[in-house]
Structure 1
Amino acid sequence: MESIQRVMNAYSIYPANITQITDRLFRIQDGQGDYALKRSLMTHETAVSFENTYHLASSRNLDAVLPVYLTHNRKLHVEMDGHIYYLTPWVQTDEHRGRKDHIKGIYRHLGDIHARTKRKKDLAQEDAWKRFDTYRDYCQSTHRELTSFIGQFEKKRYMSPVELLVCTHFKELEAACHIGSKRTEQLVDSAKKDGTWSWSLCHGNLRMSHTLQTAADPFFINWENSRFDNAVSDLTGLYSRETLYHNHPGSWFIELFGSYMQRNRLSETELHLLVIHMLDPSHYMKLVKQYTGKADKGRMMDYIPPLQRYYRRVLFGLEFSQHIEQEFETISFQEDD
């Protein structure tokens, strides 16, 4: 704890009690205040983005960004023994507030952050079209590959648990490939009409554990990976991490999505992009290819849990796509005749 004491000296704080919460998080109490000290993974390069984030949060009054204390030399972090530390208030979370209310608060304040920091620039169209054409071709080739695997599995008299699971998932994976391909075409059409692209301050590593649920409004913590990007990147990061497990709050993410749209209305192009990300079958297909490519299949449990997790993500994407169609009339998906 000697290094922690030296770090706190830079803030002119003299701890009466230091409690290690995780490998990188310490609770500091000095009899007058309660603080959270983080030993970050930042480098000198990423620390610059971190500093810029807090300067921007201050200038734009982004109250949901948990503030960072300044050292007595008015710096936002401290370097000590090869690590970069920063200090924030210790926030007491409200365990009695419902998870649904917390998600609604996350949407509202995340939308505010994205809207207040939004910039627009012309879209570099030629490069963008090539990338999306490539992804559309990927969806179509993935569907063919998956169909081929299903054909191989069904020829067997006895399928393994993995093969049976993939066959069970086939209908939804097929739909994800088909809708992903069509959404890509629609995205290109809408982007060509618009011709601009939005950039906002993004958290860069958004997950429920990087938000603090208080009696009033939530705080967003751990801005170590912050950057300017399209707002969709924060939403897809949050959904991708939180929808993998059986108890995920996916239905609430979908039901409450309007709370985000009220604060930062996404364009038709952005809505297409958000759905495309959530329907992406690449992680699922990587596992199927690993399984089929090995003579020794190894343990079934090396494949079944992750396949189930990525399947849950695809299911979320299908449900989210349907919700977008129903709630936002600017977007529609028409099946081929």
Structure 2
Amino acid sequence: MSNSNHIETITPILKNYLVEPYFVEDFGSVLKIYSNKGNFALKKIDPRTGTDFIRHVHLLYQKGYNRIVPIYPTMDGRYAVLHNDYLYYLMPWMSNEQKEDRQQKNHQLFRELARLHTLSAKEIEMNKEERTEHYEKTIQQHEKQQEFLDGFIDECEKKTYMSPFELLYCLYYNEVSQALKFSKTKFEEWYENTKDNEKARMVITHGKLSSEHFLYDDKGYGFFINFENSRYGSPIHDLLPYLSRALNTNPKRSDTAIDWVYNYFKYFPFRADEKLLFYSYLALPIPIIQVAESYYRKSRPKNELKYVRQLQHRYWHLKNSEYVVMRMTEMDAQAAAAAAAKEGAQPQ
């Protein structure tokens, strides 16, 4: 769309803010507006998203958390404008010039996320029946997944000539199975620890945590954007997808990812039960099981090369996640042993 068309489209929206656009740059769902009142970002969203997230942003501001790019109100006090079947909201434009390397940026992102979680944390009443139901459903899923893994390897091993995918699956089977068992054990420990708890800790989660949604102003301070999926939930919901994406690489021992998490824990320490749940979900080998299921269900002809590559990549993801989980559980055990030794050494 040309600049003049953009200006034509957005002028009626910006009138609500008494802003006159001179020039527009298109960045997909965000437009950069050059105007009589400075530079702005105009974000377009699906109305079905709703504007609940604005309530969360305001709540965080009220609690003293100001590392969110502010959303400007219109002259009549609305925080979004409905125009041609879309919702629009206006923010200041962030220069986002990185004055530090990616590692530094991730450290700042996790520190700010921990502050956001700390300031919004609250205890929520938990229904014991619901918790038990969630537990039973999850264990049932684990058992179904294990059944599939076992059934598929039996079928592969009956063949005189296995396909390349089946051969590779047999090679990985033990490790996938172990990861699933580890995840299930941690989940069972979590349930044992929490089944009598009447409350659980909830925070405002960002909902779409990404380094692309953490921008810098011209002073070098980092701010979150894109809060449209924010809601009250477990802090784990922010950490897991971010880590999972970061670990979706070639094989590597990601001490960097462990650093990020411990940097976060420094400002928002997880309780013992939250850690168990975190480890259970991080170790869960869902992606590799999904590839095996997809291959098993697909009728011939199958694209062996495509499936073998997928299986290999998901295996690397599993191994990368395994390293992080094992290293962190090891560090926890060392810290607990040191604390116990220190306590034992103190005079009674």
Whether these two folds match at TM > 0.5 is yes
Q: Summarize the Cα distance change of 1:132–1:165 in structure 2 as closer, same or farther, 3 Å threshold.
A: same
Larger radius of gyration: 2
Return the letter of the residue paired with 1:124.
N
Contact 1:184 1:276 in 2 (8 A): yes
Instruction: Please give the per-residue CA displacement for 1:20-70, whole angstroms capped at 9, x wherever unaligned.
Output: 111x11111126522111101242xx4341221121122012122111122
| Partner SS, residue 62 of structure 1 | coil
Q: Residue 12 in 1 paired to residue 18 in 2?
A: yes
**What's the CA shift for 1:326?**
2.3
Question: 5 Å matches for 1:31-50?
Answer: 32-43=37-48, 46-50=49-53
Letter of the 1:262 counterpart = K
Structure-1 residue corresponding to 2:122: 119
Equivalence for 2:283: 279
CA distance in 2, matches of 1:88, 1:268: 39
Residues 1-337 of structure 1 aligned to structure 2 (within 5 Å): 1=6, 2-22=8-28, 24-30=29-35, 32-43=37-48, 46-192=49-195, 194-213=197-216, 216-246=220-250, 250-329=254-333
Q: For residues 249 and 227 of structure 1, do their structure 2 counterparts lie closer, same or farther at Cα, with a shift above 3 Å needed?
A: farther
- Letter matched to residue 206 of structure 1: L
- CA change 1:27–1:228 in 2 (3 A) is same
Q: 1:260 offset after TM fit, Å?
A: 0.8
Q: Is the 8 A contact 1:140 1:177 kept in 2?
A: no
Contact 1:268–1:331 (Cα < 8 Å) also in 2 = no
Contact map agreement 1:20 1:27 (CA 8 A) in 2: yes
Q: Supply the distance in 1 between the matched residues of 2:258 and 2:249 (Cα, whole angstroms).
A: 16
AA in 2 matched with 1:4: I
> Gapped runs of 5+ residues in structure 1?
333-337
Deviation at 1:223, TM superposition (A): 0.7
Q: Partners in 2 of 1:236 and 1:298 — Cα distance?
A: 32
Q: TM-score, normalization: structure 2?
A: 0.85
Extract unaligned runs of 5+ from structure 2.
1-5, 337-348
Instruction: Name the CA shift for 1:308/1:61 in 2 (closer, same or farther; >3 Å).
Output: farther
120-129 or 207-216: bigger deviation: 207-216
What is the one-letter code of the residue matched to 2:268? N
Give the residue type in structure 1 aligned to 2:45. Answer: S
Report if aligned partners of 1:208, 1:242 keep a CA contact under 8 Å in 2. no
String of CA shifts for 1:196-247, please: whole Å, max 9, x gaps: 2011111122223222256633221111111111111111232234433449
Change (3 A) 1:105 1:317: same
Give me the whole-angstrom Cα distance separating, in 2, the residues matched to 1:225 and 1:314.
27
**Residue of structure 1 equivalent to 2:339:** none
**Does the CA-based 8 Å contact 1:108-1:260 persist in structure 2?**
yes
SS at match of 1:101: helix
Alpha carbons 2:247, 2:317 under 8 Å: kept: yes
Q: Conserved in 1, the CA contact under 8 Å of 2:252 and 2:320?
A: no
Distance 1:213 1:126, change over 3 A: same
Structure 2 distance, partners of 1:316, 1:165, is 18
Matched residues in 1 for 2:68 and 2:251: separation? 27
- CA distance in structure 1 between the aligned counterparts of 2:72 and 2:319, rounded to whole angstroms: 42
Q: What code does the residue aligned with 1:257 have? A: V
The SS at the match of 1:256 is helix
Work out the CA distance in 1 between the residues paired with 2:100 and 2:164: 41
Task: Provide the C-alpha distance between the structure 1 equivalents of 2:18 and 2:56, rounded to a whole number of angstroms.
Answer: 24
Q: Identify the range of structure 1 (115-124 vs 161-170) with the bigger mean alpha-carbon deviation.
A: 161-170
Shift of 1:330: 9.7
Q: Percent same amino acid among aligned pairs? A: 22
CA distance in 2, matches of 1:301, 1:194: 49
The whole-number CA distance in structure 1 between the counterparts of 2:279 and 2:253 is 17
- TM-score w.r.t. structure 1 length? 0.87
Greater shift in the superposed pair: 317-326 or 61-70: 317-326
